[in-house]
């Protein structure tokens, strides 16, 4: 096994033979080969995703059976064969009919907890609860909601499969389909606690369980309006939503003073398929369509983006193109660049270098973005 100058094991690209500490041994591909030979790279990556998902007990690929039933809960649009399961492990084809027990309006797979403000939310630096933006309509004080709490709802499913996932507890939840959240019970617990000023959906990712997200969000918003109470609804997601559901949830979030943050993981679709197993085209389409909501409210900013700076795979070219896309929509959209902590199947990669993170920030600002922040600084090397 080759080692780099810091003693870190070097991985080797299966296509060109390049060795580097920024090539994972689990994903034996360098960035140049992913870009230059995408078909061959995707063959290797598909094998990696197949083996990883099989190990954690989840369907190994997005089903696309021509005779299957179509599931439209997220943008993967699974076509599930008889007796089969969707990619999220919730939707099933039972005798030609799409069935679900969870991720429906009344029930979901997930858990929740209370998190004191200011939270570790990626968007806390620009949201009402963390910064006071939108005071007094949406925040308790001009400095934010210190002394109050966020209801953090972790949904145990995802429609991506990121090989560097930072929150892998959803794997077991999705595989075993537990613990279970009940709509009425969750709404009652959140509403009855006057210390809670916002609810954030994250995970995993909310997309596969969008009906539950919508139902709970709608109930909480209606009760908060009746009480004249600040209670924001926010989303942190990979963005792979069915627009039908995203539009409904976004309306509630906008009205409540909350926001939507998408993980813009890569710019290149091929790179996204390699790293996350899924196309990123629906994410970018959805992000662009959300501009209609973003333009309706100046503060706090409704639409937000972030990118995890995965060493060796997310370079300055990716950041430049993502930033250019965001800036074209609205240069005031906040953008967070996040330090990488080695995790899941890419746990042999190094930390993000501090110099690289701040170069990426300059690149994003050079594309016209007015609000760019480097986050997870404690993970920078």
Residue-wise DSSP of 193-251: -TTEEEEEEEES-SGGGHHHHHHHHHHHHHHHHHHT---EEEEEE---B-HHHHHHHHH
- What are φ and ψ of residue 209, in 5° steps? -115, 35
Q: Give, for 167, the enclosing helix (H) or strand (E).
A: none
C-alpha span between 338 and 292 (Å, rounded): 26
The answer to whether the annotation marks 71 as part of a ligand binding site is no
Of residues 324 and 10, more confidently modeled? 324
C-alpha span between 173 and 180 (Å, rounded): 9
Q: Give me the domain span that covers residue 259.
A: 107-379
Q: Note the Cα 339 to chain centre separation in Å.
A: 15
Judge whether residue 2 has pLDDT over 60.
Answer: no
Residue 55 lies in a domain: no
> How much is the average pLDDT of 84-99?
96
Average pLDDT, the chain: 96
Residue 210 lies in a domain: yes
- What are φ and ψ of residue 345, in 5° steps? -80, -15
Residue 294 lies in a domain: yes
Residue 97 lies in a domain: no
Residue 59 lies in a domain: no
Judge whether residue 1 has pLDDT over 90.
Answer: no
| pLDDT of 120 | 82
279-291 in b/e form (b: 16+ CB < 10 A) is bbebbbebbeebe
Is there a contact between 333 and 340 (Cβ–Cβ < 8 Å)?
Answer: no
Query: Which of 341, 329, 254, 344 minimizes the C-alpha distance to 285?
Result: 329
Burial label for 111, CB within 10 Å (0-12, 13-18, 19+), is middle
Task: Report pLDDT digits (tens) over 154-170.
Answer: 999 999 999 999 999 99
> How much is the average pLDDT of 205-217?
98
Q: Where are the alpha helices (DSSP H) in the chain?
A: 31-36, 38-55, 128-131, 169-176, 183-192, 210-227, 243-256, 269-276, 281-289, 291-294, 316-329, 354-366
Task: Report pLDDT digits (tens) over 231-265.
Answer: 999 999 999 999 999 999 999 999 999 999 999 99
Judge whether residue 26 has pLDDT over 60.
Answer: yes
Q: Domain count of the chain?
A: 1
C-alpha span between 149 and 196 (Å, rounded): 5
The answer to whether the annotation marks 165 as part of a ligand binding site is yes
pLDDT grade, residue 8 (50/70/90)?
low
| pLDDT of 224 | 97
Residue 77 lies in a domain: no
Residue 339 lies in a domain: yes
Residue 35 lies in a domain: no
The answer to whether the annotation marks 158 as part of a ligand binding site is yes
Is there a contact between 71 and 91 (Cβ–Cβ < 8 Å)?
Answer: yes
> How much is the average pLDDT of 36-41?
98
C-alpha span between 356 and 104 (Å, rounded): 42
C-alpha span between 309 and 307 (Å, rounded): 6
Q: What percent of the chain has pLDDT over 70?
A: 98
| pLDDT of 118 | 87
CATH code, domain with 233 = 3.20.20.70
């Amino acid at each position: 096994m080759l080692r780099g100058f810091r003693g870190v094991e070097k991985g080797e690209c299966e296509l060109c033979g390049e060795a580097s500490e920024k090539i994972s041994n689990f994903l034996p591909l360098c960035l140049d080969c992913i870009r230059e030979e995408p078909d061959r790279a995707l063959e290797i990556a598909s094998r990696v995703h197949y083996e990883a998902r099989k190990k954690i007990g989840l369907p190994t690929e997005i089903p696309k059976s021509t005779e299957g039933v179509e599931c439209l809960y997220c943008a993967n649009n699974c076509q599930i064969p008889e007796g089969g399961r969707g990619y999220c492990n919730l939707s099933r084809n039972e005798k030609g009919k799409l069935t679900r027990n969870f991720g429906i309006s009344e029930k979901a797979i997930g858990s929740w907890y209370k998190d004191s403000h200011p939270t570790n939310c990626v968007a806390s630096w620009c949201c009402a609860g963390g910064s006071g933006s939108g005071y007094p309509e949406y925040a308790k004080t001009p400095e934010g909601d210190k002394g109050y709490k966020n209801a953090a709802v972790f949904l145990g499913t995802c429609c991506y499969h990121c090989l560097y996932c930072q929150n892998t507890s959803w794997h077991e939840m999705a595989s075993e389909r537990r613990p279970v959240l009940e709509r009425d019970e969750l709404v009652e617990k959140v509403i009855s606690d006057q210390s809670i000023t916002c609810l954030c959906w994250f995970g995993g990712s909310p997309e596969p369980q969008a009906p539950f997200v919508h139902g709970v969000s709608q109930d909480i918003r209606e009760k908060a309006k009746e009480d004249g109470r600040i209670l924001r609804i926010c989303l942190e997601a990979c963005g792979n939503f069915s627009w039908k559901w995203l539009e409904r949830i976004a309306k509630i979030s906008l009205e409540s003073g909350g926001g939507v943050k998408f993980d813009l993981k890569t710019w290149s679709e091929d790179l996204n398929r390699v790293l996350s197993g899924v196309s990123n085209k629906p994410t970018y389409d959805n992000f662009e369509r959300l501009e209609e909501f973003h333009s309706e409210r100046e503060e706090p900013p409704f639409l937000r983006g972030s990118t995890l700076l995965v060493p060796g795979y997310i370079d300055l070219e990716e950041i430049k193109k993502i930033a250019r896309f965001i800036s074209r929509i609205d240069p005031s959209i906040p953008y967070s660049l996040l330090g990488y902590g080695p995790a899941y199947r890419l746990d042999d990669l190094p930390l993000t270098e501090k110099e690289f993170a701040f170069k990426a920030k300059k690149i994003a600002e050079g594309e016209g973005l007015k609000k760019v922040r480097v986050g997870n600084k404690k993970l920078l090397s």
